Amino acid sequence: MDKRPLGRSGLHTAPLVLGGNVFGWTADEATSFAILDRFVDLGFNTIDTANSYSTWVPGHVGGESEAIIGKWLRKSGKRDRVQIATKVGMPVQGESGLNRTQIERHVDKSLERLQTDRIDLYQTHKDDPETPVAETLETLERLVKAGKVRAIGASQYPPARLEESIATSEKKGLARYETLQPEYNLYDRANFEREYQPVALEHGLTVIPFFGLAKGFLSGKYRKPTDIEGRPRAAGLKKYFDGERGMRILAALDAVGARVNATPAQVSLAWLMAQPSIAAPIVSVTSVKQLEEIAQAARVKLDSAALAELDRASAP
């Protein structure tokens, strides 16, 4: 399977990244292990998580996803077949931010939970306006030099702070953000394409977007508001039923899918993979069966007519 470079880091990823936010939440340990095993067996190699997953679940304190991945790495012996991406900066047990103390404390906790000696891609989860970007980057540089981290990336940064960070790295000769993890999908296009894509293209950042299926809406399994009742992400799905645009996108996915023999989810992800600067969308699944379907997206080829039809239907 073709691998796509993650900036200038020397890391390469297959065209789909496995999201670990569900591990220990909607996927228990046994299910998570099965998903991880099958993901690697299918030829994929990058797993994304965060130290804050899954603090939103009652009774959880953060680190649950990393701990499951660490147990799987130890049991499976597949550490050298995968790249581990995790994040720091969101609130965990009353602590948050990107100052030196926070990063150095939490990278060691992540390494311990992951049961590994290095993190392949360490990402700042969101901007910390209270900490100068130079302090954050100098700390990350020390982690790279120490071998704890191989490359760094950013997620959910304001464009101006992202630009400032890149300029600071270049000026001071520090480790530079090589990847960007924003929200981007066929429905949620406008903000990324207007604010972030120009920055990514100018500076050679590669993008690994989250919510590639718009919380499941672009899978086509939700066709009317009643379909989301009782779902874990029901509140976040409501916006996709406002107005006609969501239904217009689903209709285009159905039409294109019929021509290329693919499901709406596969077509949605194939569209993402075809966009400038995109290395690989992050996908989360709660069963091996879901993974088997999603994985086929890497083999779907959309011609210019199909891409144009999807662009028209989803135009913001």
* Helix, strand, coil percent values for the chain (each to nearest 5): 50, 15, 35
Nearest Cα neighbor of 181 from 13, 298, 302, 305 is 13
Phi, psi of 56 (to 5 degrees): -80, -10
149 half-sphere exposure, CB direction, 13 A CA radius: 29
> Count of alpha carbons within 13 Å of 41, Cβ hemisphere only?
10
In angstroms, the CA 232 to CA 230 distance is: 7
For 31, the enclosing helix (H) or strand (E) is helix 29-41
Question: Using CA of residue 314, residue 197, residue 201, residue 181, what is the dihedral sign?
Answer: negative
- Rounded Cα–Cα distance for residues 17 and 256 (Å): 24
SS3 55: coil
User: For residue 153, what are the CA distances in angstroms to 70, 94, 192, 219, 293?
Assistant: 21, 24, 16, 28, 28
User: Which residue bears the tokens 């700042």?
Assistant: 124
Find all residues with CB under 8 Å of 141, minimum gap 6, and list them.
Answer: 174, 175
Positions annotated as catalytic residues are 53
Q: What is the C-alpha R_g of the chain? A: 19
What is the Cα–Cα distance from 189 to 111, expressed in whole angstroms? 34
Strand pairing report for 4-5 and 12-13: antiparallel
Six-digit token pair at 76?
């499976």
Residue with token string 């299926």:
213
